[in-house]
Amino acid sequence: MGQTITEKILARHCGKESVRPGELINARLDLIMCHDVTTTPAIDMLREHGINNVFDPDKIVIMPDHFVPNKDIQSAEMVRKIRLWAREMGIEAFYELGNHGVCHALLPEQGHVLPGMTIVGADSHTCTHGALGAFSTGIGSTDLAASLATGELWFRVPESLLFILRGKTAKHVYAKDIILEIIRRVGVDGARYKAMEFRGEAIDALSVEGRMTIANMAIEAGAKSGIMAPDQKTVDYVRDRTDADFEIVKSDEDARYEAVIEMDVSGLEPMVAFPHLPDNGRAVSSLSEKIPVDQVYIGSCTNGRIEDLRVAAGILNGRRVAKGTRCIVVPATTEIWKQANREGLLDSFMEAGATVSTPTCGACLGGHMGILANGERCISTTNRNFVGRMGHPGSEVYLASPATAAASAVTGYISDPRKMEG
C-alpha cells in the first residue's frame, strides 16, 4: 500500500521502509530552528541537566525575531544569553541584527530548508516549511532542548488530510484568502494532530512564497504540519539559495488519507477572519456595515514577503492612508526590506502616510512596535486574532490578505481590494 509524502519522509528518518498513522517513532532531525523567546529556557534546561554539547552545531539555526531589536532589558538579556551560548556551542548560523528577520521567512530565504527534510522549530508556525516539501513542525522548549542534545525527537505519525484545490483565483484573491477559507471550513481544530497536504492546480499556480502563506496557517486548523510536494518552482527556489543535495519526495498514487477535501477556488472572494478565532472567516463583500480600523498591520511570517509588499504597495501607491488610521508595514527579513527599497515600495508606503519598520515579529504577537489599546481594532495580514493577541484584551484583530489590508488602510474601514481599481 502506498504512503503519503509525510509518511515517506518520517520513515526515511527513523530507518524504516514505511510507517503508518498512529505509530510512535523516534525521528532523526535534519534542521532545528531556535528563536529568542523559546530558546533561553531550553538552554537553562540543558545546563541544569549537565548537557554541555549540541548534537551537531551545523544543523542548528538561531534567528532571534520576536522581541528584536531588543524591546526591553529582559529581552536584551535573553538574546545575549542565546548569543553567548551559540558561540560556546560553535553554532555559526546566528542571524544577528542586520541579517535578521522573522524566522519562518528567513529560514527558507537563506537556503536552510530543503525538500525531504525533517525540521523542528520552537515556534508553532514552523509548519511553514512544509511548503518546500519538508516535514516541519512546531515544538516547545523541552522538546527543543532534547532535539538540540540528541538530534532526535519522538513523533506520533500523523494521519493525513488531502486538500485538492482546483480552479484559478480571481484578481485580488490570494493565498491568504484560500487558507482563511480552508480554516473556515474545517475549523480551528479540524486538522488537530494531522498533516494537511495540499495539491491541485491552485497550488501549482502559486509561487513558493504563496505556498508558504498556506502552510504557515496549518497550525491554525490545529495541524501538526502542512505540506506540498515539490515541483520545478520549489527546485528553482532552493537552487537559487544553496548547492546542498536534496531528494524530492512525493505521495504515492495509492497513498491513504483520512479524508480528501476538494475545493474550487474560482469563486473565492477576498476574506476577512473576524475576532477571536481564525476560522471566523467571511467574504469582505458580505459585510453589511462599515467596520472602521484604527490600525493596519502588513507583515509577519504569514504575509511579510516581497510579493505581499508588492501587492500592498500597488494599492497604496499614489493614495493616502485614511485620516484616523495608522498603517504599519514590516518587511519580514532584511533581504526583503532591501529588495522593497530597491523597487521603491518603501517610498510608496511612506508617501502614502504608512510607516515602515525593521523586520520583527513585533506587534503580530503583541510584543512591541504597534501594540493595540483597549477597544482598538486592527486589520492584519498575520495569522492569529485571539483575544489580546496584538495588545489589550479589549482590542480586536481581523485577519486578511495584504491587498485587503492595504485597501482598508486607504478607506479607513475593512474594504474589498477589488474596488480599488483605477
- Identified binder of other proteins from the candidate list 142, 266, 285, 286, rule CB under 8 A: 142
Pick between residue 78 and residue 86 the one whose CB is nearest to other proteins.
Answer: 78
Q: Provide the edge-to-edge strand list for the sheet that holds 60-62.
A: 60-62, 31-34, 118-121, 135-138
149 binds other proteins (CB under 8 A): yes
Binding mask 118-137 for other proteins (x = CB under 8 A): ----xxx-------------
Pick between residue 38 and residue 415 the one whose CB is nearest to other proteins.
Answer: 38
89 binds other proteins (CB under 8 A): no
CA-CA distance, 215 to 383, in Å (whole number)? 11
373 binds other proteins (CB under 8 A): no
- Identified binder of other proteins from the candidate list 64, 108, 138, 210, rule CB under 8 A: 138
Pick between residue 89 and residue 287 the one whose CB is nearest to other proteins.
Answer: 89
Pick between residue 109 and residue 123 the one whose CB is nearest to other proteins.
Answer: 123
CA-CA distance, 202 to 338, in Å (whole number)? 30
55 binds other proteins (CB under 8 A): no
- Identified binder of other proteins from the candidate list 57, 69, 89, 150, rule CB under 8 A: 150
Bridge partners, 228 (sequence order): none
Q: What is the dihedral of CA 43, 49, 53, 54, to 10 degrees?
A: -60
Pick between residue 257 and residue 386 the one whose CB is nearest to other proteins.
Answer: 386
- Identified binder of other proteins from the candidate list 34, 65, 67, 402, rule CB under 8 A: 67
CB of 367 to other proteins, least distance (A): 6
- Identified binder of other proteins from the candidate list 7, 30, 143, 308, rule CB under 8 A: 143
Q: What is the 3-state secondary structure (H, E, C) of the chain?
A: CECCHHHHHHHHCCCCCCCCCCCEEEEECCEEEECHHHHHHHHHHHHHCCCCCCCCHHHEEECCCCCCCCCCHHHHHHHHHHHHHHHHHCCCCECCCCCCECHHHHHHHCCCCCCCCEEEECCHHHHHHHHHCCEEEECCHHHHHHHHHHCEEEEECCCEEEEEEECCCCCCCCHHHHHHHHHHHHCCCCCCCCEEEEECHHHHHCCHHHHHHHHHHHHHHCCCEEECCCCHHHHHHHHCCCCCCCCCCCCCCCECCCEEEEEECCCCCCEEECCCCCCCEEEHHHCCCCCECCEEEEEHHHHCCHHHHHHHHHHHCCCCCCCCCEEEEECCEHHHHHHHHHCCHHHHHHHCCCEECCCCCHHHHCCCCCCECCCCEEEECCCCCCCCCCECCCCEEEEECHHHHHHHHHHCECCCHHHHCC
Stretch that binds other proteins, among 42-50, 99-107, 305-313, 326-334 (CB under 8 A): 42-50
78 binds other proteins (CB under 8 A): yes
CB of 381 to other proteins, least distance (A): 18
45 binds other proteins (CB under 8 A): yes
Pick between residue 116 and residue 391 the one whose CB is nearest to other proteins.
Answer: 391
Stretch that binds other proteins, among 64-72, 109-117, 266-274, 322-330 (CB under 8 A): 64-72
326 binds other proteins (CB under 8 A): no
22 binds other proteins (CB under 8 A): no
Binding positions for other proteins, 152-191, rule CB under 8 A: 154, 188-189
Pick between residue 6 and residue 75 the one whose CB is nearest to other proteins.
Answer: 75
Cell numbers for 318, please give them. 499614489
131, amino acid identity: A
Binding positions for other proteins, 275-294, rule CB under 8 A: 277
CB of 205 to other proteins, least distance (A): 30
Stretch that binds other proteins, among 141-149, 173-181, 234-242, 307-315 (CB under 8 A): 141-149
415 binds other proteins (CB under 8 A): no
56, amino acid identity: D
Which positions lie near other proteins, rule CB under 8 A? 24, 37-38, 40-41, 44-45, 48-51, 66-67, 71-72, 74-75, 78, 122-124, 138-143, 145-146, 149-150, 154, 188-189, 192-193, 222, 224, 277, 365-367, 384, 386-389, 393
